[in-house]
Amino acid sequence: MSRRPKLDRLRARIREIDRRILELADERVRLAEEVGQWKLENSLPVRDFETEREVLANAERICLEFDLEPTLGREIIRALIGGAVKVQEEIRERRFHGSKRRIGILGGRGKMGAWMARYLYSRGHDVLVHDIAGRLPGFRNTSRLEKVLAECEVLIVAVPLADAKDFYRTVRRAKPGGIIVDLFSLKSPILTEIERARAAGLRVTSLHPLFGPDVYLLSDCILLLASCGDGDADRSVADLFAGTSLEIVTMTVEEHDRAMGLVLGLSHGVNFVFTEALARSGLSAAALRKVATTTYKKQSATASEVARENPRLYYDIQHLNRYSPEVFALFEQSLATFRKAATSRDPRAFTKLVERGRAFFDEER
C-alpha cells in the first residue's frame, strides 16, 4: 500500500485530465477529417499556412491568458496540426482514381526502393520487385530481370549508384517499352548512359526524392524531377504522385548536380569537417555536451546524424559529382575569408561577412 496517498490522488487526477485532453484531440481529428473532405471536394490544398500561423498565434494568446509559457501552446497545437494534416492526406490518397499501372522496382530491397514499392502499392498500382539481394516481403518478387523489363510500364531504378552504368547497358540491350526512372542522388555518372539510352529509343526520366525512406507525411517534402528531355515521360512519372501534398520541382539533369553539390555536398562536407575538428580537439563528446550552447547542440545533432549514414553513399556524393571541385574551392575561399575577418583587429570585415549571410537568407522570405 502506498505511503503517499496525496501524491497518488494528484497523479490520478492528472491521468484523468490527460484522458480528457486526448478525447478532445480525437474530436479535433474528426473535425479535421470533415475539413479535409471539404477541401478535396473544393479542390483546395491540404496545407493552409496562413491559417496555421493564425492558429499558432491564437494558442500563444490563450497561454498568456492562463499565465502559461506560450511555447507550450505552440508545441501542443503544432502536434495537433500534424495529426490533422495526416488524416487529410490519407483522405486525398484514398480518393485517388488514377489508372492502375504495372510498375517494376529494380533494387526494391534498398531503403528508397522499398519506400517506392510501399507508396505505389498504396496508390493501387501493380508492383513487381527485382533485387539480386533477395525478396522484399509483402510484394510480388521475381529473380528474373527480363520479366520486369518485359512486363512493366514504369521501371524505377533504385540500385546502388556504383551499379548504374552496368544496369543501363543491360537495359539498353533489352530495349524495354516502359519508362526508365532512376532515383540516383547524382546524375553526372550516368549522363552518358542516359543519352545512349535515349539515342536507342528508350523513354527515360530521372527522380531524386529529397526526403528519407522513413517519411510518412508528404507535406513539406520535395521530389526533384530531373528532365532528360522526354516531356511525355516526365508527365507520366509525375502523375504517379498526383493528388498528394508532395511538391515536385523540375530541372534538367545538368542543373541537378550543380545544385546537389551545394545542398548535399557542401552541407555534408561542413558537418564532416565540424566532426573532424571536434575529434582532433582532444575533448570528448560527453565533456562538450556538459557546456553545450544552443548553436552547438543544433550543429552537433545534425553532424551526428550525418556521421551515422552510409559512408560509401556519402563518398560517392562527394567523389562522383563533377561540380565537387567548384564546391571545394568555394568552401576553402569562404573559410579563408572567415579566418581573415575573425583575426582582423578591425571588426568591420566580420560585420560585412555576417550581413552578407543575412542578405542571402533574407532573399527567400
**199-229: per-residue pLDDT in tens?**
999 999 999 999 988 886 676 789 999 999 9
pLDDT at position 231 over 90: yes
pLDDT bucket at 93, cuts 50 / 70 / 90: low
- In sequence order, the 6+-apart residues with CB closer than 8 A to the CB of 66 are none
Nearest to 52 by CA among 21, 83, 20: 83
Tell me how far CA of residue 336 lies from CA of 63, 206, 263, 339, in angstroms.
47, 37, 21, 5
Contact (Cβ atoms closer than 8 angstroms) between residue 324 and residue 261: yes
What percent of the chain shows pLDDT beyond 70?
Answer: 96
Helix, strand or coil, per DSSP, at residue 350: helix
Confidence of residue 94 (pLDDT cuts 50, 70, 90): low
| Span 49-70, pLDDT tens digits | 688 888 989 999 999 999 999 9
State the pLDDT at residue 106.
95
The torsion angle over the Cα atoms of residues 10, 16, 18 and 23, rounded to 10 degrees, is: -170
DSSP-assigned states of every residue in 313-347? HHHHHHHS-TTHHHHHHHHHHHHHHHHHHHH-S-T
C-alpha pair distances (Å), 314 with each of 242, 261, 269, 300: 31, 12, 9, 18
Query: What pLDDT was estimated at residue 104?
Result: 97
Task: Give dist(CA 341, CA 316) in Å, integer.
Answer: 33
CA distances to 136, 153, 214 from 117, rounded to whole Å, are: 9, 15, 13
Return the C-alpha cell found at 202: 528508350
For residue 217, the model assigns a pLDDT of 67
230 vs 242, residue with greater confidence: 230
For residues 83-97, give the mean pLDDT.
74
Q: What is the pLDDT of residues 108-140, one digit of tens each?
A: 999 999 999 998 987 879 999 999 999 999 999
Which amino acid type is present at position 56? Answer: L
Q: Is the pLDDT of residue 364 over 80?
A: no
Q: CA 178 to CA 156: how far, in whole Å?
A: 10
Give the pLDDT confidence score for residue 123 in this predicted structure.
80
Those residues whose C-beta lies under 8 Å from the C-beta of residue 165, and which sit 6 or more positions away, are 189, 190, 193
- Determine the average pLDDT of the residues in 346-355: 95
First-to-last CA distance in the chain? 60
Helix, strand or coil for residue 127?
Answer: strand
* Res 95: pLDDT: 62
Quote the pLDDT of residue 270: 97
Are 176 and 155 contacting, i.e. CB atoms less than 8 angstroms apart? yes
For residue 183, the model assigns a pLDDT of: 95
**What is the C-alpha to C-alpha distance for residues 121 and 228, in angstroms, rounded to an integer?**
26
b/e sequence 187-219, b meaning 16+ C-beta within 10 Å: bbbbbebbeebbeeebbbbbbbbeeeeeeebbb
Q: H or E segment at 61?
A: helix 49-65
Q: How many CB atoms lie within 10 A of CB 65?
A: 7
* 253 close to 191: Cβ distance less than 8 angstroms: yes
- The CA angle 174-177-179, to the nearest 5 degrees, is 105
Would you say 132 and 156 are in contact if contact means Cβ atoms under 8 Å apart? no
- Tell me what the pLDDT averaged over the chain comes to: 91
pLDDT tens column, 240-284: 988 777 889 999 988 999 999 999 999 999 999 999 999 999 999
Residue 111 makes CB contacts below 8 A (sequence gap 6+) with: 212, 213
